[in-house]
Amino acid sequence: MKRIANTIRDIKEYPSALIGLSIIMILIAVSIFAVIYMPYHRAIALWKGADNIWMDNPRNASPAWVNLLPGINIPETIVVDSAGQPGIKTITPIAAETKTVDFRLGFDYTYGEFPKEINIFFTAQYEEIPPHLDLIWHTPDGRSISLDSQTPKHSSTYRVSQSSRLQRRTGGLTPHIGLLAKPGSKPEVPLQGKYELEIQGLTFEEAADFEVKLVVYGHVHGLAGTDHLRRDLLVALLWGTPIALAFSLVAAVGTTIFGLIFAAIGVWYGGWLDGLVQRLTELTMILPALPIYIMVGLFVSRSIWVILLTVILLSLFSGSKIYRAMFLQIKEAHYIEAARAYGAGDFRIILRYLIPRIIPTLIPGFVTAIPIFVFLEASLALLGVGDPVLPTWGKVLSEAQANGALHMGHYYWVLQPAVLLLITGLAFAAFGFALDRIFNPRLRGL
Amino acid sequence: MAAELPSGPKIPQRPAAKRENPALDNLLRFGKYFITRVISLSITLVIAVYLTVLVANMGGAVDQIREGQIRERIGLMALADPEIMRMPVEDRRAMEEELVRLEMSRYGLDRPFIVRSFGYLTRAMTLNLGRAEYLTSDSGSNQVKLIILERLPTTLLLMMSSFLLIFFISLYFALYLSRHYGSFMDRAVIALAPVSSGPAWFYGIFLIMFFAAVIGIMPFGGMVKAPPPTQWFRYALSVLHHMTLPVIAVFCSSLFIAVYSRRTFFLIYSTEDYVEMAKAKGLSPRAIERRYILRPTLPPIITQFALALIGQWQGAYILETVFNWPGLGLVMLEAINMYDTPVIVANSVIFGYLLAFTVFILDIIYAIIDPRVKVGSEEGRL
């Protein structure tokens, strides 16, 4: 107990250790938050992106906080949904089965840039005859542009930006630019003010009805932006934290403990057993570990936990060389002799006297080893053998690389996971280095 | 530097009264050490490759390669034989199947895996893994061996230049810092040491973003600009230009930690009594550094460097994919994306070879600089 108190007192003297430790604490807190706020299955379902859950998000949007920077006013996404909002929809019956259903979806456009895309989503209820709709776009300066007529299925999307008929009508401009451009401006600038999408619908059945949702996609979204599949990167950045911590901690513990035990057994028994452990350590050194992880990932299972098991199996003997030298010294210590004298068995000596003696010198190395495994997960993801379902930092990074994020200037996509990896790595490394100086008095003051 | 060391200051020999020729004696011991190391490393390598084969065949991958090869050959044979081609389709199929079965049993593919695995081992050791499924070498061949060997020099070029640069720069820099212990530079390096927790490819992404995407003075990746210059001088210059960022990336990930740990070694050893003694004798600081500090610290430094090197080789594969450097790592990525099993297995084997050679060469350097090896002690080994 006193020893722990002493260590804590020592840690306080190293600012780098304090900073490192606080970052580690924050990461742990974020992990707990992530697991509670977004349960595992939900996170995976979100990341898979089934059922078009991300349709209201723009593609490749920067984080929304860039708008807080002075002088920057990047368009945000505008969603006008007729469902749940009164006053947008007016229904007038004109015959027994026929009704007109009119919508006026208005929004204020105040940005100096054009939106990324415009989509209109319809959900219609009918038995046999779908409703018929005419769409009219009203600009703030009083022009009216008629869009394509639609006969929506139960659930359908009108992709305004991809309509080539509309493009001809807006003077050859991409529709989402043409619809918002100030007339006669070259290069085009958006006309600011109140726009309105008018929809004149006709339904042909008693129970028929429909709803409309207009989405004017912006260039920014949420805290972390989105990727090429419109997914909110926050999901992966948030959930990447517990995964990175769990993976690296288990890997570091696994690799350290087995190396330690095997080294202790080798040194204690000596003879052929010692020779065997040493040869196996050499074997571990030249084992092509990374290609083996890749092959396991490709041929056996992509699951991150199978890879974790492989990492531990391959490094069973990895540390033995370093620990051996320490054990050789301790083996001759008097207290070991005393233990033998009172009749302690081999395993009792190894587990109770040999190993605990070197654990303090080991902790720094253990802490500094954690970043290696944090980055290993990212490395494997980058090579395309990352876990297929888990949202991790490495996955985000590898998808960004694969989709040319740097070439296209989507820096946020690369920077966010990279900075998280960097912070995690630095925190553990700084903490480990400080611990090294505390536990190894020879280094103290150096 | 390395060439200087062996001829450097002589470690006091044991009384040479019974020895006729100490130089020859040393040479013999060194020879024995050399041969023991070659044998032991070869055995280790064979076991490592065998394990690789076992892992590769966990999903039946190697079996599929072999069966594919046999089917291809028999298919070609059938095409070339007009007699077979004239047969009805069903008969031809059945005949081909029968031939494949015969060939499989001829090669012993119907025997239990444990027997076959030794056959695979020899094939893997000689990189004789047949033809790639999709990839081809730049010269157009689809021989796995050619694809792999063609990429080896580019990988070696990039990694060896980074390794050597880092080794010597970190050594001199660490000596400098140990002389200026506590200076601003010294403290800066200590503060920067945790930066080395990130692998080279990771810093590579930042470097590409800054120098290639934002500033635009460096290429995004590749080894030489397209089209490649015809003059050898311009070609070399272009390669150098493309190499700069990856080498800096390796520097970011290994230099600070290397300097930090070497400097610590130097500082620990420079407080030894014999160094004080040498100072008292009035030796120049350079001589003290070379004879009394560098000499005893080099063996542990080499060990450390060896372990770092082995870690770096792993990183090299990913560094290449980030920088699009046409080496073994990039071919591995291509093979993974196309699921080209023979190339993946061969690439793993050559990776084992690279690691074994690294350990071997460091062993030799170790033997040259560590006097304990000369006097025949068992401890003098990595």
Which of the two residues, A234 and A324, has the higher pLDDT score?
Answer: A234
φ/ψ of A159, rounded to 5, equals -85, 95
Taking 80 as the threshold, does the pLDDT of residue B170 lie above it?
Answer: yes
Which chain B residue lies closest to A275 (C-alpha atoms)? B378
Split at pLDDT 50, 70, 90, the class of A318 is confident
pLDDT digits (tens, 9 = 90+) for A402-421: 888 888 888 889 889 999 99
The pLDDT confidence band at residue B374, using thresholds 50, 70 and 90, is low
Tell me the shortest Cα–Cα distance from A227 to chain B, in angstroms.
18
Interface test with A, best of B42, B205, B262, B340 (most A CBs within 10 A): B205
The answer to whether B322 contacts A292, with C-beta atoms less than 8 Å apart, is no
Q: How many CB pairs under 8 A join A and B?
A: 151
Chain B residues within an 8 Å CB radius of A311: none
Residue B247 confidence (pLDDT): 93
- A residues 386..405 contacting B (CB < 8 A): 397, 401
Q: Looking at the complex, report in whole angstroms how far the Cα of residue A401 sits from the nearest Cα belonging to chain B.
A: 8
With cut-offs at 50, 70 and 90, classify the pLDDT of residue A445.
low
Does the pLDDT at position B66 exceed 50? Answer: yes
Mean pLDDT throughout B39-61? 83
> To the nearest whole number, what is the mean pLDDT of chain B?
80
Which among A274, A285, A433 is the top mutation candidate for probing chain B, defined by the most B β-carbons within 10 Å of its own β-carbon? A285
A427 has a pLDDT exceeding 90: yes
- Find chain B residues with C-beta within 8 A of A436's C-beta: none
Contacts of B160 (CB under 8 A, 6+ apart): none
Fold observed for domain A2-46+231-443 = MetI-like fold (1.10.3720)
Query: To which residue do tokens 């390598």 refer?
Result: B45
Partner-chain contact A425 B194, CB within 8 Å: yes
Percent of chain A's residues with pLDDT above 90: 12
Instruction: Check CB contact of B51 with chain A, cutoff 8 Å.
Output: yes
pLDDT class for B16, splitting at 50, 70, 90?
very low
Residue length of chain A: 446
User: Does residue A63 surpass a pLDDT of 70?
Assistant: yes
The model's pTM: 0.82
pLDDT band at A444; cut points 50, 70, 90: low
* Cross-chain Cβ contact B58/A291 below 8 Å: no
pLDDT over 70 percentage in chain A:
98
Preferred mutation among B55, B129, B201 to probe A, highest tally of A CBs within 10 A: B55
Mean of all residue pLDDT scores within chain A: 85
Domains along chain B with CATH numbers: 33-125 (no CATH), 144-369 (1.10.3720.10)
Nearest to A428 by CA among B253, B306, B196: B196
Question: Using CA of residue A144, residue A150, residue A153, residue A157, what is the dihedral sign?
Answer: negative
| The predicted structure's pLDDT at residue A294 | 87
Beta strand A117-125 with A209-217 is antiparallel
CA-based nearest residue in chain B for residue A386? B336
What is the Cα–Cα distance from A305 to A334, expressed in whole angstroms?
A: 43
Helices (H), A170-314: 175-178, 233-269, 271-286, 289-295, 304-314
B100 in A contact zone (CB under 8 Å): no
Q: What is the pLDDT of residues A236-286, one digit of tens each?
A: 899 999 999 999 999 998 888 888 888 888 888 888 888 888 888 888 888
Radius of gyration of chain A (CA): 31
> How would you label B244-259 residue by residue, b for 16+ Cβ within 10 Å and e otherwise?
ebbbbbbbbbbbbbbb
Instruction: Tell me which of 2.60.120, 1.10.287, 2.40.50, 2.70.98 is the CATH number of domain A75-217.
Output: 2.60.120
Nearest to B198 among A409, A422, A443 (CB): A422
- A383 and B48 in contact by Cβ < 8 A? no
Decide: helix, strand or coil at residue A400.
helix
Domain residues of chain A, as ranges? 2-46+231-443, 75-217
By CA distance, what is A287's nearest residue in B? B48
CB A103 within 8 A of CB A82: yes
Are A443 and A436 a contacting pair, CB within 8 Å?
A: yes
Reported ipTM: the value is 0.80
- Which pLDDT does position A25 carry in this prediction? 94
**What average pLDDT does range B75-93 have in this prediction?**
80
Predicted confidence (pLDDT) at residue B186 exceeds the cutoff of 80: yes
The pLDDT assigned to B4 comes to: 37
Chain-chain contact of A384 with B336 (C-beta, under 8 angstroms): yes
pLDDT confidence band for A74 (50 / 70 / 90): confident
**Chain B nearest CA to A14, separation (Å):** 11
Q: Please indicate if any CB of chain A lies within 8 Å of the CB of B127.
A: no
A379 close contact with B: CB closer than 8 A: yes
Contacts B345 to A, Cβ<8 Å: 295
pLDDT at B261 over 90: no
Say if strands A99-109 and A144-146 run parallel, antiparallel, or are unpaired: unpaired
DSSP letter for B131, please.
Answer: B
Q: What is the pLDDT of residue B2?
A: 36
Q: What is the pLDDT of residues B115-130, one digit of tens each?
A: 777 877 888 888 877 7
Closest in B44, B321, B345 to A383, CB measured: B321
Residue-wise pLDDT tens digits, B282-339: 888 888 888 888 887 887 788 778 777 877 888 888 899 889 899 898 888 888 888 7
- More confident of the two residues B201 and A442: B201
For chain B positions 265-324, those within 8 Å of chain A (CB to CB) are 267-268, 310-311, 314-315, 317-318, 321-322
pLDDT band at B372 (very low <50, low <70, confident <90, very high): low
The pLDDT, as a whole number, for residue A442 is 63
- Examine the pLDDT at B273 and tell me if it is beyond 70: yes
Q: What integer is the mean pLDDT of A135-142?
A: 88
Interface check for A411 against chain B (CB to CB < 8 A): the answer is yes
